[in-house]
Amino acid sequence: MARRLREYPDIVLDLDVLGEPADFTRIFGRPEPLHIEVGSGKGTFLASQAQAQTDVNFLGIEWARKYYRYAVDRIGRWGLDNVRLVRADAADFITRFVPDSSVACYHIYYPDPWPKKRHHKRRFICPVNVEQLLRTLSLQGKIRIATDQAEYFEWMKEVFVEFVDRLKKVEFTPAAGAEGGEIIGTNYERKYIKENRDVFTLAFEKKE
């Protein structure tokens, strides 16, 4: 029998009352560095990373309702008070609600590749969205990306070429929850490893 998913209102952001831009210091009750995960899925990365970095505020953005509800249940059961979750379109949320120079790191792991050419316009990594990431990143803020899709990886590299004057490549280090042979430690990644898929990573830092 599937576990009953519980709701935890204290960790959920309500877009109707959030305010534009959002005041994340007020939301978390402390002025710690803010990390945002784009597409948090079932919350595997958020849960492990928030436990490892208790001095960081984590926000997970997820649109798929079934994954979002699972993530809320997981974070709530684990009692992680440095995590908040919001069900929203990530590009729209970042544009409307995230203040300038407020994010220390963006985590973008295994985003939807939208493989059909006519759907490429839906890909999160695109010049318009990267502009928003740069607007909201603090100085020396980071963007961390992982994908198992070689074609999307090449697409990403071409997109980021346009921003070499404002972003520098840095080393991609494994996440706190990564186990042997893993990079992030998400449910998707563990599935991909079993299928012997290659994983491609990118990491950038905002230049001064």
pLDDT in tens, 45-67: 999 999 999 999 999 999 999 99
What's the pLDDT tens digit per position in 7-27? 999 999 999 999 999 999 999
Residue 133 · residue 98 · CB < 8 Å: no
pTM of the model: 0.95
CATH of the domain at 38: 3.40.50.150
Q: What domain range includes position 100?
A: 9-206
Q: What does the alpha-carbon distance between residue 190 and residue 193 come to, in Å, rounded to a whole number?
A: 5
Considering the domain boundaries, does residue 3 fall inside one? no
Considering the domain boundaries, does residue 89 fall inside one? yes
Considering the domain boundaries, does residue 74 fall inside one? yes
Domain count, the chain: 1
112 is catalytic: yes
What is the number of other CB atoms lying within 10 angstroms of the CB of residue 84?
24
Considering the domain boundaries, does residue 91 fall inside one? yes
Q: What does the alpha-carbon distance between residue 32 and residue 27 come to, in Å, rounded to a whole number?
A: 11
Considering the domain boundaries, does residue 2 fall inside one? no
Considering the domain boundaries, does residue 152 fall inside one? yes
Which of 112, 148, 165, 198 is the catalytic position?
Answer: 112
